[in-house]
Structure 1
Amino acid sequence: MSVLTTPRSAQSQPPSGRKGARTPGAREKFSGWANRHRKWLFAAPAMIFVGVLIVFPLGWTLYLSLTDSQGSVRAASEFVGVQNYLTVLSDVERFWPAVGRTLSFTGVALVCEVVLGMCIALLLWRPFRGEKWVRVAILLPLVATPVAVGMMWRLIFDPNIGFVNQLLGMVGIPAQPWLSGQDTALGTTIFMDVWQWTPMVVLILLAGLTSLSEEPDEAARMDGANAFQRFFFITLPLMMPTVIVAILLRGIDALKTFDILYATKGKGGGSFHEVETLNVYAYGLSFDYNQYGLSSAVLILFFMIIIGSMWLLTMRKKAVSK
């Protein structure tokens, strides 16, 4: 009985009318593309949402700053170009003093918070008995809202019934105006801000300290360097990227401070505008005088100041990292 065999070359050839390899379809192509870009696809919804929340208010504020909108945002308004910016920049009675107070408040508060934060972080760096309880106590100011903090310190610094003046009276020091004084109000609000937000700087700097290697410090100790030399020549240079991050985060937040100032001094930052920063000034133009065009111009200029500060600190951080 004969058996018919097919040549090997004929078996390896595909049937007529069929392709040797299946071409991937659109579904397979999209699946491959999605797999390669999955990190962007997962983050895209959140990025789009945040982008809309930022772009729309910023665009609307920019539009209002170019109009004479006042009284009501729905009222008819005319395009005036950069007139609002010229009016604001020529205001030497309210705008420029508000710029000065904003920079003074931010600069003094930031320096105090970074210096105190570094000192406290160094104290908490090494383990000791009761360390957890001390850390919890230090973080307590962050729990309260700024408005509550402002009202608390407003009672403490009250010139008539405040605890601070009563304590000063016990040692023979006359009562101080504190928040009521034209020359002391800004410094008092700076103290409130330092009291509440220094713990945030402590957390950032303490995280940076715990990530440092102990070998450079031990080597310097073996070479006879004292504590101050080890800090200024070893620890501080290694901590500079973390310090700049703390300055960047806290500085931006300090520039935008509003609630504690408004809670303690009210409209206009006081009778003589003694604590009126750009935020308080813009709020007053919007909700006290309904000058939406002018207030929008102030906010855009303020936004440019914040962006410029962020850029300078970011460039500084890159230079330190190199």
Structure 2
Amino acid sequence: MTATTTLRNTPVLTRASDWANKHRKWVLAAPAIIFVLALMVLPLAYTMVLSFTDAQGSIQRAFDFVWLDNYVSILTDTTRFWPAVWRTLIFTVVAVSLEMTLGMAVALLMRKPFMGRRAVRVAMLLPLVATPVAVAMMWLLIFEPTIGFANQVLGWFGIAPQGWISDPATALPTLMLVDVWQWTPMVILILLAGLVGLPEEQQEAARIDGASNWQRFWHVTLPMLKSTIIAALLLRSIDAMKTFDLLYVTKGTGGGSSHEVETLNIYAYALSFDYNEYGMASALVLIYFLLIVAVLVVLTMRRKGAQR
């Protein structure tokens, strides 16, 4: 008997081999799982440690633990933090609501065959192809107050030029519309995929019973599509809350002293890279993270309820 055969026949190696073979799906996936967890847990743990300190300026200098002082300072800040929270929520709710409404309407239209449907689908995907920074730069030129195309169109109808992004009153609504333009196609694709997979028997039965188009949509299509709708709502809500590129490129770190489009993402960036308040920024990021997790939990619970 060779040494290799003896080694393989040892009880320890035999048990280990049997265990690995029995749990091979976890053994094979373990390296990827460990890698992903390391990418998530280590930065989150380091951010949590920094959030309890007065780290600022050079991160190499010694810092002291201030524990919950950063969280208290942020949560009691009514000048920038709470307005940023409301802007984040308003941006998310309004933009996602418009995207879901338009996405559903267009998906219902595109479900039916018509001439040039393939060309329309290709054109619909164009906003998704461009990077967020490129989209922001394009719309920044379109909304330019003096030579922008948007004000030229208004001039054709005798309407006075608008400030669009430069006006504090219209900056956030304007950027909501840009977000709707860019991400509605993704909602359309998700809802259209769900519509295509729906059975036609219920629709035919409702049509035979004399139900109108609206009644068939409200009482037949919508309930069967609820799981897909919640999935699209989940993806877009989380993504909209994290919007950074569009807001930063068009308005920098909040557009000066008015901070008219300063969401939590922009505020965290300003604390880190403009004011070098790394401890405060870390606390803000963790609060922001918990807010996103709360939204994720709520939407996930609704999705489970819809599936039941």
TM range (shorter): over 0.9
Residue from 36, 57, 67 that aligns with 1:81: 67
Residue from 39, 48, 53 that aligns with 1:53: 39
Residue from 154, 162, 180 that aligns with 2:140: 154
Contact 1:269 1:277 in 2 (8 A): no
Q: Secondary structure at the match of 1:179?
A: coil
Q: How does 1:1-322 map to 2 (within 5 A)?
A: 25-322=11-308
Q: Deviations over 1:174-224 (max 9, x none)?
A: 111100111100000101111001111111111111111111111101111
Distance 1:192 1:184 in 2: 12
Q: CA deviation at 1:28?
A: 4.0
How many correspondences in the alignment? Answer: 300
TM-score scaled to structure 2, two decimals? 0.94
Q: Mean Cα displacement is larger for which, 63-72 or 264-273?
A: 264-273
Q: CA deviation at 1:74?
A: 1.4
Shift in alpha-carbon separation, 1:40–1:167, aligned structure 2, 3 A = same
Distance 1:271 1:46 in 2: 45
Distance 1:31 1:126 in 2: 56
Larger radius of gyration: 1
TM-score scaled to structure 1, two decimals? 0.90
Q: Which amino acid aligns with 1:195?
A: W
Distance 2:172 2:256 in 1: 10
Q: Secondary structure at the match of 1:180?
A: coil
Distance 1:208 1:273 in 2: 40
Shift in alpha-carbon separation, 1:94–1:50, aligned structure 2, 3 A = same
Q: Secondary structure at the match of 2:130?
A: coil
Q: Runs of 5+ in structure 1 lacking a partner?
A: 1-22
Q: How much identity, in percent, do the aligned residues show? A: 59
| Aligned-CA RMSD value | 1.3
Contact 1:262 1:269 in 2 (8 A): no
Q: Which amino acid aligns with 2:135?
A: V
Q: Runs of 5+ in structure 2 lacking a partner?
A: 1-8
